[in-house]
Amino acid sequence: MKELIAGLSLLRMQRGLRLPPDVLLEEQTRKLRRTIHHAYSTTPYYRKLLDAAGLRPQDIPITRKQDLLVVPLEERVAEGTDINKCHKSVTSGSMGARFELRMAPKERLRRILADVRAFLANGCSVWDTMCASSSRREIHEPAYWFQRLGLLRRRHVSVFNDLENKLRTLTAGNYDIIYWLTSDLVLLAEAMLERGIGVAPPNMVVTNGEMMNPTQQCTIEQAFGRAPTDFYGCAEFWTVAWQCRERRGYHINADLLLLELVRDGNVVEPGEEGEIVVTDLMPRAMPLIRYATGDWARSATAPCPCGITLPTLAHIGGRILDFLVLPSGKKISPYVVLLTVSPIKGIKEYHLVQKSRSEVLVRFSRHPHAKEVPSPALLQTVRSLVGESMEIRLEEVDRIERPSGKFRVVENELLRAGDSVQRAT
């Protein structure tokens, strides 16, 4: 029965790739009404929000992560949800703060199938083997029923593993698909080129989690013999938009979610830039309506020549790659910094700035209900990342200033100054 349900779900998703625009709009509208009804009927947070704003979608206020951080979990989870059966995850903290998410098993399957659809659209097969990076320190490979049948086989590698371990895994496996955190893959590609390590080109190299510049794209292509294809997403929704083989933009999963580009409170015109605001169009254990991601994008004004009719984004200005660079020259991925610093209790927001070759400034704000002073744990954690040779300055502030759409939780000022020795590319 599971096999049949998954197969039918994937077929329905495949249909969504080529829906005429008017049919897609009708489907979005129908799903949006259902989503709002579900959220209002089952979720205390949205019931209060919608009572205050009215039920017209355009009047629903935008929700930000900072808004949800102060909302108790029971007010964010749909009533009747068995929370013990939900998948628990935590956002990476890429905006300097993170919170817990809950996902029902059906939602998780739907997100997996949405990724499968994007891979198939890029010419991959369900029989392809994949090596994927993971944010978990300890890897426990799940044994899904379809993997026991030889479908969608994956090998996960923790981004916390040392460089040598990751290089051995990537070069020895002869994988069909490499699915990796962007910043970590840049570091691996640099090491491969420096050491003259070569691999048989995989069918597809997929980057995710952060944006990269053309030099970093070229580095990955030289190392793996395949130009990277970028998937844009976040922990709250998984893959939101993805590149096809044309790589001229990002196809939005518009049959599964509603993506708006908003600036100054208004949805922008086609071809203009705005903040990405997402509504999940499927009933979920933890509804998210008009959720602001903090990333900015520009919509495309022409359809993609690949034939897929999903709307596209021409450009995404997301989480930019700023590495911490140690005096030894070793680079630390911003994602590793996020995963290491974010769990510290008592911190509401934080911002790491590399001021010089030997100095890191850490600004942070304290959670109003913090029971402990977070400074000692923060200092010890950052020290574990950068070692003893760098000076660490802690600066407690009331709030972290956030330039609209351009905030980097890890920022290397040497890159802005053009320091050739410290440049991460």
- Tokens at 128, concatenated: 């392809």
Q: For the chain, what are the domain ranges?
A: 2-317, 324-417
- Tokens at 76, concatenated: 């964010």
Measured CA to CA, the distance from residue 114 to residue 275 in angstroms comes to 23
Q: What is the predicted pLDDT for the residue at 64?
A: 86
Beta bridge partners of 129: 153
**pLDDT exceeds 50 at position 82:** yes
Among 4, 25, 22, CA closest to 281 = 25
Ranking 203-212, 341-350, 388-397 by mean pLDDT, the lowest is 341-350
Measured CA to CA, the distance from residue 304 to residue 413 in angstroms comes to 37
Q: What is the predicted pLDDT for the residue at 108?
A: 87
pLDDT in tens, 200-250: 999 999 999 888 778 889 999 999 999 999 999 988 999 999 999 999 899
**pLDDT exceeds 60 at position 388:** yes
Residue identified by tokens 């020795």 is: 421
**pLDDT exceeds 90 at position 148:** no
pLDDT in tens, 165-211: 999 999 888 899 999 999 899 999 999 999 999 889 999 999 998 88
**pLDDT exceeds 70 at position 95:** no
**Greatest CA span in the chain, whole angstroms?**
62
Q: Which residue has the higher pLDDT, 273 or 310?
A: 310
Which of 59-68, 209-218, 284-293 has the largest mean confidence? 284-293
324-417 has CATH 3.10.450.350 classification: no
CATH superfamily of 2-317: ANL, N-terminal domain (3.40.50.12780)
**pLDDT exceeds 80 at position 271:** yes
**pLDDT exceeds 90 at position 411:** no
Residue identified by tokens 């580095």 is: 219
Q: Which residue has the higher pLDDT, 89 or 43?
A: 43
**pLDDT exceeds 60 at position 56:** no
**pLDDT exceeds 60 at position 96:** no
Q: What is the predicted pLDDT for the residue at 304?
A: 93
- Tokens at 310, concatenated: 């999903």
